[in-house]
A and B are shown apart, each in its own frame.
Chain A
Amino acid sequence: MYKLMLTFVLLLTISSVIGENQIDDIFNQAISSYENRDFESALEKFVLIENQGVINADLYYNIGNCYFRLNSIGRSILYYKLALKVKADHLAARRNLEHALSITKDAQKLETENVFRSFWLKAFNSISLNLLAILTLVIFFVIVVLISMMIGIYRNRENAIPIFVTILFIFVFVILLIVNVVKWQEYHSKDEAVLLSPSALGYSGPGEDFTRVFTIHEGIIFNIEKEDGSWCLIKLKNGLGGWIKKDTFEVVKFR
């Protein structure tokens, strides 16, 4: 029985290693296609890996680069956004996203002009969810050690410093928890979308008979507020809202 189980585990490990090796092979082929400026073939291979269910910031970054080289700015922005969703501190993806956004028809900026909000966003975006998970765990460990020390050592002593330090750490912990929740929601959100068609008209209602509100162009990032049949109510970063057709954009989410 033990041997059988061991064989099974061994086989499972081998098969997964083979699968990973295959993915690495395809990845390397895609890289060489990209380096030979055969961007279409490179894209095809990268997307093949993506279709295997691989969620990886570098992969998304490379797909974004392929789309950029193929002049598909909208899709490149979509994939840089995905890369940053997986790894918020992916500097290359952030730089490329900024560059791609700078050449879209509609002017877009990643950061706002408000100093405090800009600082907050910078800090928030530079920490990935996994890093945050480790940080939270470390802070939790420190709090537990402090509480244990208070129970074991400082219980019968009149000393306010350990209590103060513990409260301080608990405060940091609560903040981290809130950031965690926000990050988690952001990671799993399906609200943000990127316009992929060359242009789209925004109407005041779900239909072409309504008044035109705005015209947006490929690559613009916006939030989806509501859906109605083949129409979606969107909100642009500048606060403008309107209804656009569903088939003109794609939501920033993992496949």
Chain B
Amino acid sequence: MKKLLLLILFFNTFLLLAQEIEIDSYVDKNKIGISDMLTFTIEISGENVPNISAPVLPEFNDFENLGTSSSSSSNYSIINGKMSSKITRNYSYTLRPVGTGNYLIPPITLEIQNKKFTTDPIHIQVVEGSTEPAPPASSNFRSRTDQSSDIADNLFLRVEISKKNVYLSEPIIVDYKLYSRDDIANLAFAGDTNFEGFWKEDVFTPESINFKQETYRDVRYNVMLMRSVALFPTQTGQLEIPSLSLNVDIREKSRNFFDFGSTRRYSIQNDPETIQVKPIPTENRPADYVNAVGSFQLTSGISETNLKVGDSFTLTIIITGNGNLKQFDVPKLPKVTNLRFLDPEISTEINKNVISGKKTIKYLIIAQEKGNYILPAITFTYFDTDKHSFKTLRTNPIDLAVREGNLPFISSSNAQSIVNEEGADIGFVITNKQIRSQKLYFNSFVYWLIWFIIFLFIPGSYLYSQERDKLKTNADYVRQKQAAKVLKKYMKQASLLVNKNEPGFYTTVQQGLGNYLADKLKEPRGSTTDKIILALTAKQVPPMLLKNVQTIFETCDQARFMPGGFSQEKIKLDFKLVNDTIKEIIKCKL
């Protein structure tokens, strides 16, 4: 028994080791000239590859084996703290064709750790002459159409489509891959690609040049994923997947010691491909079909089953799977009395490959009355593209118990009925009014002007009280203030006497002017003319005016002692002089 166990263990270990080994074979080109050399490589890779001697090739009739070389490389990586290693051993054979035509490198059988591996056969076309690149042309820009077939073999774009026969809205992944065996210096997209007839979601766009090795048609290439998109057909029939255009700068090999190398630009694009889009069948289409296409799973759940009136809870419906998650409508909810469903919050999370993801629909539900309720099953129908038929998913019904509650937010169950009671709820609309913008007084200039005017009362009242005090206490000041008033009175009287041609005019003028000047000059009333003149001189009154005053007083004196008086003309002239003089005196600040 023990022996049997050991044997099984040994066999398993051996199997494990053998399983980890991968064999690949490829050539550097599968179209060569009769004068060219061909490199055929066998690559053995795996976690634990033993160091074996170069496999011996069988006898070829069509090729001459010129020599063998071998190389090995190790690659260590640590993922999530786990170290893994990969050893790659390459055995290259240089072969020379012996004639033209189509030949086959036959499958090579290898035995590693007692396990046999066989490589795939490789077809080789041998033509006359050489397929080595021609000398470079003078221009440093060549398009794909005029380049040599060598460039076309070594640099091209390919499109990979995940599925070529699909249903309307069924997503496909389209990968644009660049294959190259040249030294690429730079890459750039040439123009936009217009995906007509599709709803497009970008899956991948490279940020830097990143090549991986891949064997395509028995030839080893450096391959870079240039663009990956998820396309959702929006039309039926034959739809074309458009080409991607690239500008690629290739480093040229230096031809001699002084040639430091140069780059040459090539414009390439892939051949367009087509896919066939079928319509979703109308036969047996369920009524609750919401345009979902793909393959989905449905789950649902609620945040709380034990509730109080007025409480809100969330019903979450999750649809996961592959398909047009962003494009279909949400499943309809059944109506339940006394449960108020609010508009749902919908969020869609899409995985990196875009076809798969999760659509979450959250309904906020408010319990309006106490009681036991059942949230019925929710159905979701989609078109299953694998089974070519409609499929309906169902959630389980959910039981709810709503108790009486006194939460801070109390629901008002009869809200709608109150709204409909016309006139008894809100006040009537305001009519017969002129609608004018109600401006703020604080923003009005007039308002602040009134404030300022009111404020001015304070200095005004102060000045007024000062004036009043002065009038009360200072008799000279009172005389000064009232002098003009008194003079006016006298002059009015004088004016009447002039018209009547009475000699009393001179007496009035003498009294009036004398009193005015005495009051103004703070001299006692009845002062002599000389005293007044002296005081006027002290006030620096102009001499001309002084003379006029003196003349008036003298004339008045004369008139008093003149029995016949003056003629009417003389009186009028004197009145004019008096008026002019008074005007001048008023102008002087006495």
**Is B426 an interface residue when CB atoms closer than 8 A count as contact?**
yes
**Is B437 an interface residue when CB atoms closer than 8 A count as contact?**
yes
Total inter-chain residue pairs, C-beta < 8 Å: 131
- In angstroms, Cα B435 to Cα A56, docked, is 7
- In angstroms, Cα B409 to Cα A215, docked, is 9
**Is B433 an interface residue when CB atoms closer than 8 A count as contact?**
yes
**Is B464 an interface residue when CB atoms closer than 8 A count as contact?**
yes
Question: Known contacts A141-B454, A144-B458, A151-B462; is A134 also within 8 Å of B441 by CB?
Answer: yes
Question: Known contacts A20-B436, A31-B431, A49-B435; is A238 also within 8 Å of B408 by CB?
Answer: yes
**Is A9 an interface residue when CB atoms closer than 8 A count as contact?**
no
Closest residue on chain B to residue A187 by CB atoms:
B440
A69-107 residues at the B interface, CB under 8 angstroms: 69, 71, 73, 86-87, 92, 95-96, 99-100, 102-107
Residues of B within 8 A of A240 (CB): 408
Q: B442 to nearest A CB, angstroms?
A: 6
Residues of A within 8 A of B78 (CB): none
Q: 0/1 per residue, A121-163, Cβ < 8 Å to B?
A: 0000000011001100100110011011101100100000000
Q: 0/1 per residue, B442-466, Cβ < 8 Å to A?
A: 1000010011001101101110110
- In angstroms, Cα B416 to Cα A96, docked, is 16
B36-60 residues at the A interface, CB under 8 angstroms: none
Interface pair B409/A105, CB less than 8 Å apart: yes
Question: Known contacts A56-B437, A133-B441; is A217 also within 8 Å of B409 by CB?
Answer: yes
Interface pair B409/A106, CB less than 8 Å apart: yes
Pick from A87, A100, A134, A141: contact of B426, CB below 8 A.
A100
Pick from A35, A73, A148: contact of B461, CB below 8 A.
A148
Pick from A56, A96, A106, A151: contact of B436, CB below 8 A.
A56
- In angstroms, Cα B364 to Cα A197, docked, is 12
Interface pair B440/A129, CB less than 8 Å apart: yes
Closest residue on chain B to residue A42 by CB atoms:
B429
Residues of B within 8 A of A196 (CB): none
**Is B425 an interface residue when CB atoms closer than 8 A count as contact?**
yes
Chain B interface: which of A59-67, A111-119, A223-231?
A: A59-67
Question: Known contacts A152-B464, A215-B312, A217-B409; is A145 also within 8 Å of B418 by CB?
Answer: no
Q: B540 to nearest A CB, angstroms?
A: 38
Interface pair B440/A155, CB less than 8 Å apart: no
Pick from A23, A86, A144, A152: contact of B455, CB below 8 A.
A144
Pick from B343, B412, B437: contact of A102, CB below 8 A.
B412
**Is B511 an interface residue when CB atoms closer than 8 A count as contact?**
no
Question: Known contacts A107-B408, A151-B462, A199-B312; is A58 also within 8 Å of B457 by CB?
Answer: no
- In angstroms, Cα B454 to Cα A140, docked, is 8
Closest residue on chain B to residue A105 by CB atoms:
B411
Residues of B within 8 A of A199 (CB): 312, 342, 364, 366
Interface pair A215/B364, CB less than 8 Å apart: yes
Residues of A within 8 A of B462 (CB): 151
Residues of A within 8 A of B418 (CB): 103
Q: Residue among A56, A65, A105, A187 with the most chain B CB within 10 A?
A: A105
Interface pair B429/A96, CB less than 8 Å apart: no
Interface pair A24/B434, CB less than 8 Å apart: yes
Residues of A within 8 A of B442 (CB): 129, 133, 184
B454-488 residues at the A interface, CB under 8 angstroms: 454-455, 457-458, 460-462, 464-465, 468
Residues of A within 8 A of B412 (CB): 102-105
Q: 0/1 per residue, B523-548, Cβ < 8 Å to A?
A: 00000000000000000000000000
- In angstroms, Cα B431 to Cα A83, docked, is 15
Interface pair A56/B438, CB less than 8 Å apart: yes
Q: B86 to nearest A CB, angstroms?
A: 39
Residues of B within 8 A of A217 (CB): 366, 409
Q: A216 to nearest B CB, angstroms?
A: 7
**Is A169 an interface residue when CB atoms closer than 8 A count as contact?**
no
Count A-side interface residues using an 8 Å CB cutoff: 62
Closest residue on chain B to residue A87 by CB atoms:
B438
**Is B419 an interface residue when CB atoms closer than 8 A count as contact?**
yes
- In angstroms, Cα B430 to Cα A132, docked, is 24
- In angstroms, Cα B450 to Cα A155, docked, is 26
Residues of B within 8 A of A35 (CB): 429
Interface pair A147/B427, CB less than 8 Å apart: no
Residues of B within 8 A of A187 (CB): 440
Interface pair A201/B364, CB less than 8 Å apart: yes
- In angstroms, Cα B430 to Cα A148, docked, is 46
**Is A213 an interface residue when CB atoms closer than 8 A count as contact?**
no
- In angstroms, Cα B447 to Cα A130, docked, is 11
Residues of A within 8 A of B496 (CB): none
Closest residue on chain B to residue A201 by CB atoms:
B364
Pick from B312, B409, B430, B434: contact of A62, CB below 8 A.
B430
Interface pair A152/B465, CB less than 8 Å apart: yes
Q: B532 to nearest A CB, angstroms?
A: 37
Interface pair A130/B441, CB less than 8 Å apart: yes
- In angstroms, Cα B472 to Cα A129, docked, is 47
- In angstroms, Cα B442 to Cα A184, docked, is 9
Residues of B within 8 A of A104 (CB): 412, 415
Interface pair A144/B433, CB less than 8 Å apart: no
**Is A179 an interface residue when CB atoms closer than 8 A count as contact?**
no
Question: Known contacts A105-B412, A144-B455; is A65 also within 8 Å of B426 by CB?
Answer: yes
- In angstroms, Cα B63 to Cα A139, docked, is 117
- In angstroms, Cα B450 to Cα A57, docked, is 26
Interface pair B426/A68, CB less than 8 Å apart: yes
Residues of A within 8 A of B455 (CB): 144
- In angstroms, Cα B430 to Cα A27, docked, is 10
Q: B319 to nearest A CB, angstroms?
A: 18
Closest residue on chain B to residue A92 by CB atoms:
B427
Q: A17 to nearest B CB, angstroms?
A: 12
**Is A55 an interface residue when CB atoms closer than 8 A count as contact?**
yes
Interface pair B436/A54, CB less than 8 Å apart: yes
Interface pair B429/A65, CB less than 8 Å apart: yes
Q: B134 to nearest A CB, angstroms?
A: 60
**Is B333 an interface residue when CB atoms closer than 8 A count as contact?**
no
Pick from B312, B426, B460: contact of A96, CB below 8 A.
B426
Q: Which 3 A-B pairs have the closest CB atoms?
A: A148-B461, A133-B441, A106-B409
Sample (20) of A-B pairs whose CB atoms are under 8 Å apart? A24-B434, A54-B435, A55-B437, A61-B429, A65-B426, A68-B425, A71-B416, A86-B438, A87-B438, A92-B427, A96-B426, A99-B426, A105-B310, A129-B440, A137-B447, A137-B450, A151-B462, A198-B343, A199-B366, A217-B409
Q: Please name 18 further chain A to chain B contacts, defined as beta carbons within 8 Å, in addition to the given A23-B435, A96-B426, sorted by A numbering.
A: A27-B435, A55-B437, A56-B436, A58-B433, A61-B430, A65-B426, A73-B415, A73-B419, A103-B418, A104-B412, A106-B408, A141-B454, A144-B457, A151-B458, A151-B462, A152-B465, A201-B364, A215-B364
